[in-house]
Structure 1
């Protein structure tokens, strides 16, 4: 029983203030909070459940539980549906805490009696709402198995603090995810889904440093689609976009997972090849050229074939990346001057 909240409140505040990795699972970054709640309230289990949709919720999904381990990467989360627990959902959506002294007889929780309470020996429940922008977003559920329990106002207040702590952690996690999405958009070409020139420059700087330390070769292939302007002029820019997307898809099939394909702009692309010298990069470029020349791109009744001109260069790790990029770009111009649909090594 909690008569004085000051000590346990201070402890919970300290736990909540600890730096955690919010990029992981809910279980990982809520574990310390719900463990603290279980110990302080002397209950058998504390779990966190989130609505599938906070505007029109249909389900509650169990995302964290003191019975789970943070080492478990994937778990089959329990699901509660509005259809089966209508009274319980209605009570939660009001935003008020549910202090069910006897969970089996309390009208807000009696729906759980046969399917959940009795099989697991749960006799009492204290559920407090997690809010997001003032709207119920989920709950923290505290369950006891030692018989009916008269929940004190201090215990309810403490459980509500647990819910608020979870709310703050979840908010930080969502902000982190949004930041990652914005970062991805900033470095991504919207049409092809490939990385863009801005990403390439950052990537090259990191890889040059890494390859220099490991004394390993780093190469690149600049790829330019031949006569792309004629494709746009003949079929229209919509077809041109389809060609660029098909080009990107074909290149991904040829390149390794660790290779980095970026769109420099227009119809010009560059593939960065880690741990690859110029000779091997030349062979990669030839495979790209051959695969692309054999691809037939369909758009309605149109059947379009493309060829590419490629320039290969091994990155000089002692010079700015722009110097090596210029060499590969110059090799592309040489390939075009030689009649296109070929590979030139700088």
Structure 2
């Protein structure tokens, strides 16, 4: 088969320059490339496989395929164990392309004969390595049926360019995932794992807009652990951290999935309750107060009981959320003034 390397290279370059959403599955952002490769090389099947661990690979995982009728979840990805196909994996990890004209007798691919080649009538294979930081990361596998095939230099060069295009998209996906992780960390309280004040302000802005459109009420519950400084002074800050984490977990379990619990800082927490009137918010706050009071927190040889003062109110949809925070804070101070371990509505 003759291919015009210049023409197909230009097509690949144009495809690589197009803006693409890499936030989805591998199949989603690699499919157009491997379909292009299937058509250009005239093969029956093209697939992408990645090593499970680039530094110490034990298996290849099939992450994209032209044969899939629908996207697969990660736990459905087919796998190849290195120990079952030692010659093939040794060849792949050298980084050199495998151009198996007759895959059934080529020493690098004949290991697949009974388990795969004969089953799917595969006669010829061209596998090109995907690199990551100069290290083999996976492979793009081109498979043909029918008569055996003598792979030409231009075809091998094209397949290697296809692997490089996949490599670039995988790198962009890695960068996107890293950005998501950094964003998550920026909005997360490191100690409790809850969202932080920064996230709360952004989330509240979105929820206020949504509640204006829906006409529903949005309520807030501010929680302040009573005498927390005394806990730190009596038992130490490490025990204080244990108390904060246990408190956050207890409150999280008592709330609905759609409720947003955040740590404002120190021993102050806040729960934003969508589609909830103040009467319902009062019930939620009272339930939280009782649950916290009944729960004994264990830390080493210490058994600590804490209580919480709560300020409850409806979020004003016509004012900045910071105003509702101030009012909830004043309600918490009123609860403290009344003897703590109680709920006050502003």
TM-score higher than 0.5: yes
Offset of residue 146 of structure 1: 1.3
Instruction: Please give the per-residue CA displacement for 1:45-98, whole angstroms capped at 9, x wherever unaligned.
Output: 100000111111111111111111344445622211221111111111111111
Spell out the pairing of 1:169-318 with structure 2 (5 A cutoff).
169-318=169-318
* 1:160 and 2:164 are equivalent in the alignment: no
Equivalence for 2:123: 123
SS at match of 2:84: coil
- For the residue of structure 2 that corresponds to 1:46, the secondary structure is strand
| CA RMSD, 1 decimal | 1.3
Instruction: Report the more deviating stretch, 255-264 or 79-88.
Output: 79-88
For 1:62 and 1:74, how far apart are their aligned partners in 2? 9
Task: Please report how far the alpha carbon of residue 120 of structure 1 lies from its aligned counterpart in structure 2 after TM superposition.
Answer: 1.5
The 1-side partners of 2:123 and 2:16 are apart by 29
Matches within 5 A, 1:131-170: 131-170=131-170
Any idea what SS the aligned residue of 2:62 has?
A: strand
Aligned to 1:331: 331
1:31 touches 1:70 (CA, 8 Å); kept in 2? no
Q: Which runs of 5+ in 2 are unaligned?
A: none
Q: How far off its partner does 1:110 sit?
A: 1.4
1:53 aligns to 2:48 (yes or no): no
Q: Is the 8 A contact 1:223 1:309 kept in 2?
A: yes
Could you tell me whether the CA contact under 8 Å between 1:28 and 1:70 is conserved in 2? no
Alignment partners' CA distance in 1, 2:326 and 2:285: 17
Tell me how far apart the structure 2 counterparts of residues 240 and 256 of structure 1 sit (CA, whole Å): 26
In structure 1, the residue matched to 2:89 is: 89
- Mapped to 2, the partners of 1:75 and 1:233 lie a distance apart of 49
Separation in 2 of the partners of 1:312 and 1:277? 11
CA contact (8 A) 1:27 1:70 kept: no
1:184-231 CA distance string (max 9 Å, x none) = 000100000000111111111111122112222111100000011111
Q: Are the aligned partners of 2:308 and 2:341 in contact in 1 as well (CA < 8 Å)?
A: yes
Structure 1 unaligned spans of 5+: none
8 A contact 2:103–2:125 mirrored in 1: yes
Match of 2:319 in 1: 319
| Bigger mean CA deviation after superposition, 110-119 or 175-184 | 110-119
The equivalent of 2:111 in structure 1 is 111
Quote how far apart the aligned CAs of 1:13 are.
2.6
* Distance (whole Å) between structure 1 residues aligned to residue 3 and residue 315 of structure 2: 69
2:42 — aligned with what? 42
Contact kept, 8 Å, 2:60 with 2:80, in 1: the verdict is yes
- CA gap of 1:217–1:267, structure 2 versus 1, over 3 A, is same
What SS does the aligned partner of 1:140 have? strand
Structure 1 Cα separation of the partners of residues 342 and 293 of structure 2: 10
Secondary structure of 2:136's match?
Answer: strand
SS class of match (1:174): helix
Total equivalences in the alignment? 346
Q: Distance in 2 between matches of 1:343 and 1:61?
A: 54
- The residue correspondences of 1:4-83 to structure 2 (distance < 5 A) are 4-73=4-73, 76-83=76-83
Q: TM-score, normalised by structure 1?
A: 0.97
Matches of 2:60 and 2:25 in 1, distance apart? 17
How much does 1:38 deviate? Answer: 0.7
Per the TM alignment, residue 338 of structure 1 is displaced from its structure 2 partner at its CA by 0.2
